[in-house]
Structure 1
Amino acid sequence: MEQCRDLDAGSEIHEKALFLAAEEGQEAILRKLLDSGVNVNARDEWGSTALDFAVSVGHEETVRTLLRNGAKVDSTDRYDDSALHWSVTKEEITRLLLEGGACVQAENDTGQTALCWTAQGGTVPVARLLLEHNANINWQDMKGSTALHKASLRGSDSMVRMLLENGADVNLKEWTTGHHYMPPALEVMWKLSSYCPIESMVETS
C-alpha cells in the first residue's frame, strides 16, 4: 500500500512538471517526461491539460510535440473551454488544432464557441481561419450574443468589417437585452460608414 501511495505521489509530481514544461516551452524536459510515460492528457485541478498550457502562451513547437504524442485536441476544462478557445490570438496554433481534428463548433459552459471568443478578444486572421473551417458565423451563445455582437461591443472595426463581409446577420438579437446591438456597436457601425453605407446595415432592423 505504501508503495502505491509513493507511485501516486510521484505521478502527480511528474504531471505538474509536464504542465510547467508545456507552459515554459521546455521541449527537452517535455520529451523526457513523455518518454518516461507521463500521461500527456493529465489534468490539473481546473481540468486543464499540458496542451491547454502550451496553447495559451503560444508555444507552437510544444503544441506540435504534444499532438504528436497523443494529446486530445478536444479535451475541455471544468468550464468546458477547449484548447481552440485558448488559441484566439495565435493563427498557426489554431491551424494546428483544426488540422488535428478540433471541433470548430465546440461550446463552453456559456455556449460560446472559439469564434465567439475570437470576436471579443482575438485576431481577424484567426476568426477568418475558423470561418474557413465552417464555424457558424451567426451562432448565438446562452445570452443570444453572436460574434458580431461581441466584436461590436469590443469596438473592433476590422473584426466587425470581416464578419459583415462573411455574412454576419445584423438582425439577430441578444435574448437578455432584446437589442440588435448595444450602443457601442452603433458607434462602430458609423465608423464603418465609409466602407459600407450604414443604411444597408440597419435598413431591415
Structure 2
Amino acid sequence: MDALQAAACGDVVWLGYILRRSTSLPQRNRQGLTVLHVAALHGQVKFMESLLEGGIIEVDARCPQGRTPLHLVFTPKSAPWTLASISCLLMHGAQVNAATKDGVTPLHQAAAEGLLECVQALLEAGADPHLREINGHTPLDMAKLWCHRQVARFLKDAMWQKDKKTEVKQRKKLHKLKETLQFWHHRNECKDKFDRQDVSEERVAAWAKHKGVPVQWRPERGCWLPHHTQCTSTDPPAARHQERHQGQPKAPREAWNVSPNPNRPPKASTSRPQGVGTSTRPERVAPPPDLRRSVTLTQEPRGRTIYKTCWEDKPRTAPDLPLSTLKRELFPADYPSRLESPLDFQSHSVLDLPRRRCPSPENGASPWTEIAMHLVEEMKPGQY
C-alpha cells in the first residue's frame, strides 16, 4: 500500500509508517493529485490532519487544473465530512479565495452544491462573494442557476453587507478629501487676495508719484494680517488650534465655577458671555466654498475617477465612488435640493396657503401621474 492508497482508505497507521520509512509521500497520481488531494476527495479528516501536522505536504498544493485540496472537498465521496474537511484545511492556513484556471473558487462550488453551512464557514474565513469565474458568474449566480434559494438569499445579504462597509469607508475618505480641498481652496483664495492688494498698492504708489502727491492712505499689512494667519498657514486647522493655545496660561475660574472634583472639571464654562438671539429663526450658516473653479473631476475608461486642482497639476485618484456621488458631495451648488426649507415659509394664516385639489379623472389628472413623476425623478434626476 502506498501513500495515495492510504489516503483513500484513511489508514493513519500506514501513513505513520510511510512518514518514518519512505520518501514517496510527495508523489502524485496520473491526474496530478497529491496525497492531500486524495484525502480531501474522500473526506478523510484524520488523515488530512496527520498530513498537515507533519508539514511535508503543502496545504495549497495545486493540480494541473489549478485545484487545491479545498476545491476537492465538494464531492459526493466526502459529502458527510465536507464541513469538517473545510474547517481542517482553513485551520491550517488554506487560501479561501484560491481559484482554478477557470476562476472557480471554493465558494463557487459550495454555492453550486447548495451547502449553506459551508458557504457560511467560507464567508467567515474571508471568502470574497464578488469574485467571478471565467464565464462571469459570481457564487450568487451559481446558487441561482442550481435553484438553491436559501444559499442565494444568504449570499445576496453577504454581498450587500460587504458593499455597504466598503461604501462607508469610501465616503469617509471623501469627507476627509472634501475638508482638505476646502482648506486649500480658502488658502489659495487668500493668496490671490494678497496678490491683488499688492498690485493695487503698486498702482496707487505709481499714480501718486506721477502726480507728485503723497499717498494719503496706505493700509498696513501688519494691522490685519495677524487676524488672517490661518489663511496663509499650511498646517491643518487642528494643528493651528493646538499651536495657538500651547503655552498660554489658563484663565483662573471663579470660586463658584470650580468643580468639586479637580480630576473632572466642568464640561462648559458659564462665566463666559453668551450671545443673545434676536430672532426666533436660527442663524443662517455660511454656504460652503464653491470648489467648481478649483477642482476638476474626470473619469477614466477603466472606471476610476481622477481629480485635479488649480494649485497642483498632478492628478490624483478620487475615492472609489460613482462620479455622480462625488459631484454631489464636492459641488453641492450644482444639485440644489428640490425641497424648500420651512424657514422660507412666510404665511401667517391657513387661508394664505394654496389649496390643491385631489387628482381625479374629472380634473384631467390620473392618481398615478405624480407617483410616476417621483419615480422618474428618482431614477433620472433633473427630468422634471
Matched, 1:137 2:150: no
Give CA-to-partner distance per residue, 1:127-181, whole Å, 9 cap, x none.
Answer: 1111111111011111101101111111112211221221269xxxxxxxxxxxx
Structure 2 residue 19 is matched with structure 1 residue 27: no
CA shift for structure 1 position 123: 1.4
| Bigger proportion of residues as helix | 1
Does the CA-based 8 Å contact 1:55-1:93 persist in structure 2?
Answer: yes
1:63 aligns with 2:45: no
SS of the equivalent of 1:149 reads: helix
Shift of 1:122: 5.3
Q: CA deviation at 1:41?
A: 2.6
| Larger RCO of the pair (alpha carbons < 8 Å, separation 6+) | 1
CA change 1:168–1:47 in 2 (3 A) is farther
Between the aligned partners of 1:36 and 1:48, the Cα distance in structure 2 is 22
Shift of 1:112: 0.7
CA contact (8 A) 1:110 1:142 kept: yes
| Residue of structure 2 in register with 1:72 after alignment | 58
Count of aligned positions: 155
- CA apart distance, 1:126: 1.1
Q: Distance in 2 between matches of 1:161 and 1:59?
A: 31
Unaligned runs of 5+ in 1: 1-13, 170-203
Q: Offset at 1:45?
A: 2.2
1:47 aligns with 2:39: no
1:177-192 equivalences under 5 Å are none
Counterpart amino acid of 1:83?
P
- The question of 1:148 aligning with 2:134 is answered no
Instruction: Provide, for residues 53-90 of structure 1, a one-character-per-residue CA deviation record: whole Å limited to 9, x for no partner.
Output: 11111111011011111221000111100001112351
State the structure with more CA Rg.
2
Q: What SS does the corresponding residue of 2:110 show, helix, strand or coil? A: helix
Aligned counterparts of 1:126 and 1:160: Cα–Cα separation in 2? 13
Out of 74-83 and 158-167, give the one that drifted further. 158-167
**Structure 2: distance between partners of 1:122 and 1:65:** 29
Cα displacement (A) at 1:125: 1.1
Structure 2: unaligned runs, 5 residues or longer = 162-378, 380-384
Q: Distance in 1 between matches of 2:154 and 2:121?
A: 12
Which residue identity lines up with residue 4 of structure 2 in the other structure?
Answer: F
What amino acid does structure 2 have at the position aligned with 1:56? L
Aligned residue identity for 2:43: G
Q: Provide the TM-score with structure 2 as the length reference.
A: 0.39
Contact 2:114 2:151 in 1 (8 A): no
1:20-68 per-residue CA deviation (whole Å, 9 max, x = no partner) reads 1101111111211121133433222221011111111111101101111
TM-score by length of 1: 0.71
Q: Determine which of 102, 118, 124 is the counterpart of 2:116.
A: 124
SS at match of 1:87: coil
Q: Which residue matches 2:191?
A: none
Closer, same or farther: CA 168–37 of 1 in aligned 2, 3 Å: farther
Contact 2:114 2:148 in 1 (8 A): no
Matching residue of 2:248: none
AA matched with 1:47: G
Asked whether the 8 Å contact 1:137–1:168 carries over to 2, the reply is no
Matched, 1:85 2:71: yes
Runs (4+) off by over 4 Å: none
Query: 1 CA distance for matches of 2:18 and 2:160?
Result: 45
Structure ranking higher in strand proportion: 2
Equivalent position amino acid for 2:97 in 1: Q
What is the DSSP-based 3-state SS (H/G/I as helix, E as strand, rest coil) of the residue aligned with 1:135?
coil
Match of 2:93 in 1: 101
